[in-house]
Structures are given as structure tokens and as C-alpha cells.
Structure 1
Amino acid sequence: MTHGITRRRAALAVLCTSLLAGNGTALAADPWPSKAIRIIVPYAPGGIGDIVARMIQPVLQDQLKQPVIVENKPGASGSLGTEYVARSAPDGYTLLLALAAPQTLNQYIYKTGYDGVKDFAPITLINTNPMVLMVHPSLPVRTVDEFVRYAKANPGKLSFGGAGGLTSFAGEMFKHMAGIDMVHVPYRGGAPAVAATVAGDVQVTFANYSDALTWMKSGRLRAIAITSAHRTEQSPDIPTIAESGIPAYDVTGWSGLLAPAGTPPEVVERIANVLRPALQDPSMRARMANVGAESGGTSPAEFGKLVANDARKWEEFVRRTGIKINP
């Protein structure tokens, strides 16, 4: 009797072990993705990050065969949503629509709970979005050289509107490299800063190309130069600041897709391999151009290098100048 009970217990233990092993194997082999994926946008709906996220949403949804949800988490100049993703599980189901300032600048001027380089796994650059140095038409300047000479002749009399992040630091870096004195006037967004320049409340602004385009075409603001290292495809006649007498000046906005650090490399590669050809498709390039952006499509390693280089540039600039911008 005792031996029979022992044998039954042993058989039951083997069965349980087999079932558990089977379940474990099934879980381990569970293919990614097996549920909805979220793209966190660290700004409010309607901005360039939100627009771009909704451009890539159907591509991912169609290719990965799972729902892709765009979720806006604005606050703290983009740091709130960025930190949320940094602290999310690295399982490929929570991604970040990253923008240049929250990813590479904010940690050096604000108190943030993340490292924009170390706490993320880069996937791909989605686009670049240059800025434009624009002035009110009443200002008697048409080139960077004329602007600098005018500013030096009128120290402290010019004011520029910025919205924190790159739109403000583009102006701060310009001031520093050109050796001029301008007063920074903060606004709560790029569009209000541009509107203030149109109204003449400030004379200068460094605006995202998408915010600048309408006003440039109408003639209500005068475009002086592009802030990126290369001329933009959309307005090839506008020179860069670097080629206009301030060598090495380069402030370029961008959007990219990131995952939390520790996300499996095969998941990162799969997302990148889906997006890269889509971003190079002529129809997508045209859609990007309509919002003043140039389409990307880099490898994870290439995008990671871009993020690290930008972060290093801003860290050095902030340390060298001691500049702080109140959030």
C-alpha cells in the first residue's frame, strides 16, 4: 500500500514538473509582439512629435500585426514622458517618440530623473527638423553678418523669443559664438514665440522650420539663416549660420524612436527594420517635407551615436557658459 502511494506521488510530481516545464517553454517562446505597443510622446497633441508619431503608427501596426497606441504625456519640457519610458519595462511594448531637447539637453539644465543616453536603447532616427533664425521686417538686417554688426552696435537692445529647449539654446549658442548681447524672452511654446515676433513684442526668434514656414512665405517675418549644419531641402536658398560667418554652429532638432535600456536587441532590430525602409519611401519623405522635416531611417548604432554626440555637445556648452533656463 505504501509503495503504491509512493509511486502515485512520484508520477504526479513528474506530471507537474512536465506541465511547468511546458508552460515555461511556451512563455519563453512567446513571440514578440503579442499585445499592443505604446508610443509615448512627451508633448501635447498637435506638435511635431505628435504628428510624426502618428505618421509611423500605421507602418508599425501594419507590419507588426498588433495595435500601436500613441499616448501623449506632456510636462516638464518633455522630461515627464521621457522619464516615464526610461522607467518602463524593457520588453518592447513601451517606446518613446524622442525629441532632441528632452533627450540631450534637459538633464543639464533641469532636474530630471533619467540619463538621456544611458537609460535608453536607440532604434532609429525618424527625421531632422532644422530651425530658422528669423527677424521682424522692421529690423534693418538681411544676413548673419548684418545681424551681428547691428547687435554689437546695439548691445542689450535686441530680444529673442524662445520656448525653452532648443529654441532657446539656439539663441544662447548664437549669442555666445557671435559675441553679442541679446535678451532672452521665454514663451510656453514655439508657436507663441513666433507670434510674439510677428507682433513685434520681440525682434528675433529661433523657430522650428514647421512653425516658421507660414510666416516666411507671407513675408511677415524675414528668414536670415538655417541653424543646422546643412541647408534644408525645403528652402535651399536660405544659408546656414555656419556658412554665414559663425563656423561650427549647428543646432538641429530631430525626432527618433527609443526603447528603455535593456530592451532585447532582436526587438530593437525588428522595429528598426520595419521603419527604415518606410522612412525612405518617397511618399513618407513628402509627408515629412510638408511639416518642415527631412526623413531619417538610420541604424540603431547610428542613431545612438547622434544622441550621444548631441548630449556631449550640450553638456560642454552648459558647463562652459553656466547657462540655466528656468522651466
Structure 2
Amino acid sequence: MGVDVHVDTPRRRFLQAGLAVVAGSAAACARQEGPWPSRELRVIVHAAPGGMSDTVARFTSRGLNERLGVPVLCENRVGAMGAVAFSAVKYAAPDGYLVGYAPVELAVVPHLKYVDLATTDFDLLARHHRAPAALAVPAASPYRTLREFVTAVRGGARVAMGAAGPLSVWHLGTLALARHLGRPFVFAPFPGSGPATTALLGGHVDAVMAGVPEVQALVRGGAVRLLGIMADTPSPVFPEAVTFRSEGLDLIFEAWGGFMMPKGVAPATLARLEQDILAAFTQPPFVKYCQTAGLDVQPLGSRDFRVFVDAEATRYARLVREFGFVPA
């Protein structure tokens, strides 16, 4: 059930040239000063202001500001599935003054071959959260359980599935589910999970694949029904929700977020930032936001975050080949 996706050569060259300019500008602006920190830090975020990734980055920046005693400013570099932001971090001077937000796209984008990136281009600092994929349907849907949904699709039911995409983690989760069920969905890509859930409420799609935090308010309000989550353990947000594994579908797809730096930052600086970022995660306003937003906070330090990201990168490399996004 591969998907035939071709990125034409001129467009690829245009993207690569644009990313090189952005990266070069970032490196040129870096200044060598000491002792560290003697000036403001910048946190580069791949997502637009106001979303979950941006909010997590801003709460963390606030905590770093308090602990380091210097301003910590967020900058949004949106585009190319995160590659614009990732390239800005990769090519920045490793002087300790630039931090990058590290989302799940970091494990996906390098395998799509439209930009020169690898997860090994970065020193990882800490992971903050995991947000498993949730399969949700309108409250009036005939599918009341995940089992009913699976049985109907296997039986030939035509289901329009909305999700952010194409090539988002939720799109890949949708493709993996279709492969397991042996039946394709009518895939409806949206600019983000917000527009996808709006389409669900409007009756334009039959189901959506999105992160638990992105549907939790609608589920609690009774507008949509949560059929199941693609996680290895029950959700602390919705402990009653079944996992796909419990229904015999070995599927795990999730968003996650953490922080990274360009390769080559002084070990002492990396260690200090790892410690301070982990401490920032525990600030009461941040904890309250995570509880309200439905984030499953599962912090990891640098070493464990590297193991986790390497495993994710290996998995997504295989998936983008199997689904035909790059040559096998």
C-alpha cells in the first residue's frame, strides 16, 4: 500500500538553497564570547506561535531565564516540515547560545532526502513529553469502539480519515493502520490537527488521527469519541482508552518534544543546560499547563533521549521506504 510521492529536482534544489542561506545566516550571526552565559540565549522552534511545541519551548525558556540569569528568547522558524529550523540549529556556531526544539519530525525529515540532515548532527539535551496518536470519531458515529471500527474497515467500510499531512507522523500512523487492516482509507490531509478536527466536527471526514492533547478537550466535552490510542501503555490523560496493541494491532505512533544544540558545544555547557532544562520542566506553572493540555510528561536526560531518538530514526527510516516516499 505504498504512496507514490515525487519531489521534483528543481523544487528540491530550491529548498536546499534556501535552507543553506538560512543556516549560513545563523552561523554568521553567532559571536564567541565568554564566560558562558554572558548574553542572551535563543531557542529555535520549528512550529508557529501558539501551538503545543511553541508553548512547551516558551515555558522551558522562561525556566532557563530564571536559572541562568540571562534572557532566553524563542524564535519561530517555520517551514519544510521543520527542516528550516533544524538547519538553523545544525549550522549555528557551537558556542552555547543557541538551543533547538527537537520534535518527532527530527526523526522523519532526514530520511526524506530533500535536505542534508541527520539526528547525529545535534547534541541532545532532554526530552519533555510523549503524545500518542489518538483515533477519534464524532459523537454520532456508528463506531462506538475500536473493535467495531476495525471490523467495519476490514469488512469494506469506506472511511475518510483526516490528519495533519502529508508526511506527518499522524499520516504515517494512518498508513500503518490501513496496512494492518488490509484496506485503504480515503486520506484527507490538513495543514494541522486543528483544521482536521474542525472538519471532523463539520462532518467532512469520518475519523481523525491526531495527538491526544489535540482532541482531549473535544473528548471531554462530548463532541467526539476516542476509540483508541497508538501507545505501548494506557494514557494517563484517558486511562480508560484502549490501546491498539490490546486489539491485536501492534502500532505505536506519537509526537514527542525535547531540546537539542548544534554538535560541538562544550561538555560543561551541555551538562549545565541539560540540568537546567530538566529543572525547568518541574516549574509549577509549566506542570499546570501540561495537565490542562493533556500532555504526558515523560522527561529523559541527554543519554536516554539519544537512545530514544536513534530508535525512532531507525523506525521512521524503514517506514518512509516501505510507504514509497523514498526509493527502497
Same fold (TM over 0.5): yes
Contact 1:285 1:294 in 2 (8 A): no
Instruction: Provide the C-alpha distance between the structure 2 equivalents of 1:28 and 1:113, rounded to a whole number of angstroms.
Output: 26
Would you say 1:227 and 2:227 are equivalent positions?
no
Q: Identify which range, 61-70 or 291-300, moves more after superposition.
A: 291-300
SS in 2 for 1:224: strand
The alpha carbon displacement at 1:158 in A equals 0.9
Change in CA separation of 1:89 and 1:29 when aligned onto 2, cut-off 3 Å: closer
For residues 193 and 263 of structure 1, the distance between their equivalents in structure 2, rounded to whole angstroms, comes to: 40
| 2:259 is the counterpart of 1:257 | yes
Q: Give distance in 1, aligned partners of 2:293 and 2:93.
A: 32
Contact 1:144 1:245 in 2 (8 A): no
Task: Decide which of 123, 133, 136 is 1:134's aligned counterpart.
Answer: 136
Sort the Cα spacing of 1:92 and 1:136 in 2 relative to 1 into closer, same or farther, 3 A. same
Corresponding residue of 1:9? none
1:110–1:153 Cα change, 3 Å: farther
- 2:212 pairs, out of 209, 212, 215, with 209
Post-superposition Cα deviations, 1:278-323, rounded to whole Å, max 9, x if no partner, equal: 4246664332121121223322110111111111111111222324
Percent of matched pairs sharing the same residue:
26
Structure 1 residues 140-183: Cα deviation after superposition (integer angstroms, max 9, x where no partner): 2222221111012225x211111121121121121122322112
Inter-partner Cα distance in structure 2 for 1:237 and 1:273:
34
Instruction: Tell me how large the CA RMSD over aligned residues is.
Output: 2.0
CA distance in structure 1 between the aligned counterparts of 2:183 and 2:150, rounded to whole angstroms: 7
Displacement after TM superposition at 1:206 (Å): 0.9
CA displacement at 1:29 relative to structure 2:
9.5
**Pair 1:146–1:131, CA change in 2 (3 A):** same
1:162 match: 163
Deviation for aligned residue 1:257: 0.4
**2:261 corresponds to 1:242:** no
Q: Paired residue for 1:185?
A: 188
Partner of 2:48: 44
Aligned length: 294
Q: For residues 283 and 230 of structure 1, what CA distance do their matches in structure 2 show?
A: 27
* Counterpart Cα distance in 1 of 2:57 and 2:325: 31
What pairs up with 1:1-327 in 2 under 5 angstroms?
A: 30-101=34-105, 103-109=106-112, 111-115=114-118, 117-154=119-156, 157-164=158-165, 165-247=168-250, 249-280=251-282, 284-323=286-325
Is this contact kept in 1: 2:159–2:186, CA < 8 A?
Answer: yes
Measure how far apart 1:244 and its partner are.
Answer: 2.2
Aligned counterpart, 2:5: none
Structure 2 segments unaligned to the other structure (5+ residues)? 1-30
CA distance in 1, matches of 2:217, 2:164: 18
Supply the distance in 2 between the matched residues of 1:83 and 1:219 (Cα, whole angstroms). 41
Listed one character per residue, the Cα deviations across residues 55-87 of structure 1 (whole Å, up to 9, x for unaligned) are 111210111111100111111122211121111
Change beyond 3 A, Cα 1:177–1:266: farther
Deviates more, 1:174-183 or 1:300-309: 174-183
Q: TM-score, normalised by structure 1?
A: 0.84
In the aligned structure 2, how far is the partner of 1:232 from the partner of 1:277?
24
Which contiguous aligned blocks of 4+ residues in structure 1 show a shift greater than 6 angstroms? none
Q: Distance in 2 between matches of 1:299 and 1:244?
A: 33
Give the aligned residue type for 1:72.
N
Structure 1 counterpart of 2:172, which letter? Answer: F
Shift of residue 131, structure 1, vs aligned partner? 2.5
* Matched-pair contact (CA < 8 Å) for 1:59–1:278: yes
AA aligned to 1:158 is V
Contact 2:132-2:252 within 8 A present in 1 as well: no
Q: 1:239 deviation in Å? A: 1.4
Letter in 2 for 1:151: V
Normalising by structure 2, report the TM-score: 0.84
The Cα shift of 1:54 comes to: 1.1
**8 Å contact from structure 1 (residues 151, 158) kept in 2:** yes
Whole-angstrom distance in 1 between the partners of 2:319 and 2:312: 11
